[in-house]
């Protein structure tokens, strides 16, 4: 007797992210930075503080990156292509927030390199490292 295989189900958080993305595509990017700032303002205090600090840091490092929402997360694009994004810990109920980079980020370093970083707080050293990563990702090094 064959058993029926069922596809894995999406979590509530994953379904919410997909709905966010559908809304983003319908809405376009009329005032994307305001949408990013509003999304950050609506986050729990710890995620909001990290997100706002990263937003300022990313904008200062590469001012011409375009802020936008991506699956309900603050993200930054270059020439219309996603470069990096901030995933709040609360987004998928994880232990820590992350700063992730897409495949268009120019972070290549040999055959293996990191594309996502756990973020729990930002020290002066961390800020310098992230600013350098964002500049490198955008091809500014």
Domain locations in the chain? 45-137
Model pLDDT for residues 70-120, shown as the tens digit of each residue: 999 999 999 999 999 999 999 999 999 999 999 999 999 999 999 999 999
CB 54 within 8 A of CB 122: yes
Model pLDDT for residues 18-63, shown as the tens digit of each residue: 887 777 667 665 688 999 999 999 999 999 999 999 999 999 999 9
**Residue that is written with structure tokens 């603050």 in the block:** 74
In angstroms, rounded to a whole number, what is the distance separating the alpha carbons of residues 82 and 94? 23
Around Cβ 76, how many Cβ atoms within 10 Å? Answer: 27
SS3 110: coil
Q: What is the pLDDT at residue 14? A: 84
Helix, strand, coil percentages (3-state) for the chain, rounded to 5, are 45, 20, 40
Q: What is the pLDDT at residue 31? A: 81
In angstroms, rounded to a whole number, what is the distance separating the alpha carbons of residues 53 and 127? 9
**Residue that is written with structure tokens 């709040």 in the block:** 88
Q: What is the pLDDT at residue 1? A: 59
The CATH number fitting domain 45-137, selected from 3.40.50.280, 2.40.10.10, 3.40.640.10, 3.90.1150.200: 3.90.1150.200
66: pLDDT strictly greater than 60: yes
Half-sphere exposure in the Cβ direction for 56 (13 Å, CA): 7
* Residue 93 DSSP one-character state: T
Half-sphere exposure in the Cβ direction for 31 (13 Å, CA): 5
SS3 45: helix
């Amino acid at each position: 007797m064959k058993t029926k295989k069922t596809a894995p189900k999406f979590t509530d958080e994953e379904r919410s992210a997909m709905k966010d993305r559908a809304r983003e595509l319908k809405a376009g990017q009329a005032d994307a930075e305001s949408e990013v700032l509003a999304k950050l303002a609506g986050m729990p205090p710890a995620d909001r503080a990290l997100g706002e600090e990263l937003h300022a840091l990313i904008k200062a490092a590469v001012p011409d990156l375009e802020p936008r929402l991506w699956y309900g997360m603050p993200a930054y694009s270059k020439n219309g292509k996603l470069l990096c994004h901030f995933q709040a810990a609360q987004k998928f109920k994880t232990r820590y927030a992350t700063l992730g980079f897409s495949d268009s980020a120019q972070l290549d370093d040999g055959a293996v390199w990191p594309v996502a970083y756990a973020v729990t707080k930002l020290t002066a050293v961390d800020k310098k490292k992230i600013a350098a990563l964002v500049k490198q990702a955008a091809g500014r090094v």
